[in-house]
A and B are shown apart, each in its own frame.
Chain A
Amino acid sequence: MIPVDAHPDRFLATIAGEPHVFHCHHYNCFLQKVITDQSALVDAPGLLTEAAVEVVLTELDGLSADRSMAQALFAQLGFGQLDLSALSAAGGRAVASGSHYALGFRSKFGSSGEPVCFFVAGFIEAAARRLFRAPFSVRERACAAMGAPRCEFEVSPGGRDAVPRTPGLGQQTPFPVRPGAAVSPHVDEGAIIAACAGLPLAGNAEGRVDAFGVSLTRHFANYYNLVSYRFDRAMEATAGEAAALAARILLVEAGQVCAFHTFGGIMESAEWEALVKPMIRSTEDWVYGMTAVVNALGWGRWSVASLEPGRRLELVIDGSYESNGYLAIFGASASPRCYLGTGGTSGLMNLVYQADIMSRPPLTPALYEKTFRDGSFFVAREVECRTMGAASCRFVAERL
């Protein structure tokens, strides 16, 4: 097992200095589709694949990885099984079995008319570059999302000469004092984080992490940062402010999708029943319990700043992976940048007070529509963001 370093003071986790976060196939595939749907405006395949090459190559170099370690890392992180045995300095072929992206896409959107494993292609390119110290490019020739038994990739010598390094943990600042309302007297956040750390959340023999009713990955935080913020910028560069605003709407929606499925899946899971539910005394404790679990996902430190039952949540994130990455890659921003945090905040409140997650409803597309579209649902906005100079990122969710 490749060691994962916990940074409990920062609520982050790294492998060879590269931050990793848990995200499920719903978020991964939805986020990817958000970008590929705009292919008329942006180079979606390039954007998705190049970011993967950058984060994976940085990490493989940090690990001094050989072929078997690259394959092991792919499986451990929950992306499936990768066979790089046919690769040589002249290129060759690589095969992914049980690709997280291909299977996730199929389960979420049905069969695809074209390959969808952009991240996997980037991973393979990075591995080839690492193993043979030369540029390569990768094309997916068969994809399980299209009905193929496995995903097959053609690896050819050549491609961009230099691959930028990622910013690692990004730009970090000291955490301010935690808000007084950050924890519930009933919910033992420390115990929840410790228990989550003990869960077997590494890929199984098939390279899958099936937990909380979803297919999880321990993904590269900087992959999300690079693809989200480059997408945002590419949209603006191509089609102006309208496109930038449209991109942000879609990225916040991706955050809501993530919250609905990941938070919802967690709150309906056996692990929640065993670990968190015995601590819960009120509806509001569901919010506290979930933020405690989030604090084990490597997303930074989430704290409840204030919670008016059924009406309003003010949430603070210290050291969010989004702001860490944005600041290090792009510097200061004139607008809030924590799209996942924004969607996550509204998602959390809607799950607890709109979807009645306590009654364990099936997390279907119909329930998603009902929860986020009908009735008096919650909307969230980021009112302070570290990328704009604030000490923390602060979100408010209120009923509309």
Chain B
Amino acid sequence: MLRETIERFRQAHLRIAEALGTADESLLEPAALYAHLKAVRADIVSHFREKDAFYPELSEALQTAGDNAGAQLARIFESNMKIQSAAVQRFFEALDRAAPAQLPQSYQTVASVIRQRLSTEEKAVFPLTVRKEPRRKP
């Protein structure tokens, strides 16, 4: 189950990376940037919401598998990711109220946080889950 979730997340990461790359090209045109972010908003927000639900499940799965150390690490990530996730979702939810002139800078900060997060998950979190997923009974 976790492996399938991770595979879905990996696909979402590719989409989000591409969406951020396209948004980067519109940094000098706030109206175009706004339109692009609005177009990808639903996908990104939905991905972050799914991740919010994923981390507690991950901690529990690792705990159930007897991997106490892994569960401890997952809880550290869970706490940190939850804060980031809330902030990213707030940014997208407030998009319609954002001042156009300030949008590029705000976006760049959010994009940096998203990229950092995806990288951390790819490098550190996903390998934990793949390695530690409890074996299913045949």
Residue ranges of A at the interface with B (Cβ–Cβ < 8 Å): 38, 40-41, 238-246, 249-250, 253, 311-312, 372-373, 375-377, 379, 381, 398-400
Contact among A38, A245, A377 with B123 in the assembled complex (CB-CB below 8 Å): A245
- List 6 contacting pairs A-B, 8 Å CB cutoff, sorted by A: A38-B72, A241-B127, A242-B70, A249-B76, A373-B86, A398-B108
Measured in the bound complex, the distance between the Cα atoms of B124 and A239 in whole Å is 10
Asked if residues A249 and B80 are in contact (CB atoms below 8 Å), the reply is yes
| B64 beta carbon closer than 8 Å to chain A | no
Collect the chain A residues with CB atoms within 8 Å of residue B112's CB.
Answer: 381, 398
Binary contact track B106-138/A, C-beta < 8 Å → 1, others 0 = 101110110010001001110110000000000
Give Cα distance in the complex from A246 to B75, angstroms: 10
Cross-chain contact of A398 among B77, B109, B116, B123 (Cβ < 8 A): B109
B94 CB, min distance to chain A CBs, angstroms: 8
Q: Is B76 in contact with A377, judged by CB distance below 8 angstroms?
A: no
Contact indicator per residue, chain B 80-107, by CB within 8 Å of chain A (1) or not (0): 1001101110110000000000100110
Question: Cβ of A245: which chain B residues have Cβ within 8 Å of it?
Answer: 77, 120, 123-124
Asked whether A250 and B76 contact (CB < 8 A) given A245-B120, A245-B123, A373-B86, the answer is yes
- Evaluate contact between A243 and B110: CB separation under 8 angstroms: no
* Residues in chain B near residue A246, CB distance under 8 A: 73, 76-77, 124
B124 touches A241 (CB 8 A): yes
- Minimum CB–CB distance from B44 to chain A (whole Å) comes to 14
Q: Which of A38, A41, A243, A246 has the most CB of B within 10 A?
A: A246
- Extra 13 A-B pairs, beta carbons < 8 Å, given A41-B69, A239-B70, A246-B76: A38-B72, A240-B127, A241-B123, A241-B124, A242-B70, A242-B77, A242-B125, A243-B73, A245-B77, A246-B124, A249-B80, A376-B90, A381-B116
Q: Judging by beta carbons under 8 Å apart, are A242 and B113 in contact?
A: no
A241 and B125 CA atoms in complex are apart in Å by: 9
Interface of B is mostly: helix
CA–CA, A244 and B124, complex, Å: 9
In the bound complex, CA of A311 to CA of B102 (Å): 10
Q: Which residues of A contact B5 (CB under 8 A)?
A: none
B46 at the A interface (CB under 8 A): no
Is B22 among interface residues, defined by CB-CB distance under 8 A?
Answer: no
**Quick check: B73 and A312 within 8 Å, CB to CB?**
no
A301 to B91, CA, bound (A): 34
Expressed in whole angstroms, the minimum distance between the Cβ of A314 and any Cβ of chain B is 13
Whether B120 and A40, one on each chain, are in contact in the complex, defined by CB atoms closer than 8 angstroms, is: no
Residues in A whose Cβ lies below 8 Å from that of B102: 311
Which listed residue (A238, A243, A379) contacts B109, Cβ 8 A?
Answer: A379
A399 touches B124 (CB 8 A): no
Nearest B residue to A308, CB-CB: B105
Give Cα distance in the complex from A246 to B80, angstroms.
Answer: 9
**Complex A-B, nearest 5 residue pairs according to Cβ-Cβ distance, in ascending order:** A242-B124, A398-B109, A400-B87, A246-B76, A245-B124
Residues of B contacting A38 in the complex (Cβ-Cβ under 8 angstroms): 72
The answer, among B73, B83, B108, B124, for a CB contact under 8 Å with A373, is B83
Given A245-B123, A311-B105, A379-B109, A239 and B73 touching (CB < 8 A)? yes
Are B90 and A242 in contact, CB atoms less than 8 angstroms apart?
Answer: no
A240 contacts which chain B residues (CB < 8 A)? 124, 127
- Expressed in whole angstroms, the minimum distance between the Cβ of A255 and any Cβ of chain B is 14
In the complex, A239 Cα to B73 Cα: how many Å? 9
- The residue that B72 contacts in the complex, of A40, A311, A312, A375, with Cβ under 8 A, is A40
Contacts of B123 in A (CB 8 A): 241-242, 245
- How far, in angstroms, from A400 to B113 measured CA to CA in the complex? 8
**Least Cβ–Cβ distance between A319 and chain B, in angstroms:** 27
Bound state CA distance, A238 and B68, in angstroms? Answer: 13
A241 partner residues in chain B, CB cutoff 8 A: 123-124, 127
| Chain A nearest CB, measured from B115 CB (Å) | 11
Contact A40 B83 (CB under 8 A): no
A233 CB, min distance to chain B CBs, angstroms: 16
Q: In this complex, what residue of A is CB-closest to B106?
A: A399
Chain A's closest residue to B110 (CB) is: A400
Q: Are B109 and A242 in contact (CB under 8 A)?
A: no
A246–B74 Cα distance when bound, in Å, is: 9
| Residue pair A379, B72 in contact (C-beta under 8 Å) | no
- Chain B residues with CB under 8 Å of A243's CB are 69, 73
Is B86's CB under 8 angstroms from A242's CB?
Answer: no
Q: Chain A residues with Cβ under 8 A from B87's Cβ? A: 376-377, 379, 400
A285 to chain B, nearest CB (A): 23
Q: Is the CB of B128 within 8 A of A242?
A: yes
**CB closest chain-A residue, reference B87:** A400
CB B51 to nearest CB in A, in angstroms, measures: 16
Whether A238 pairs with B69 at a CB distance below 8 angstroms is yes
| Contacting pair A40 B68 (CB below 8 A) | yes
Complex alpha-carbon distance, A379 and B120, angstroms: 16
* A250–B77 CA distance with the chains assembled, in angstroms: 10
CB-CB under 8 A for A312 and B105, given A239-B73, A379-B113? yes
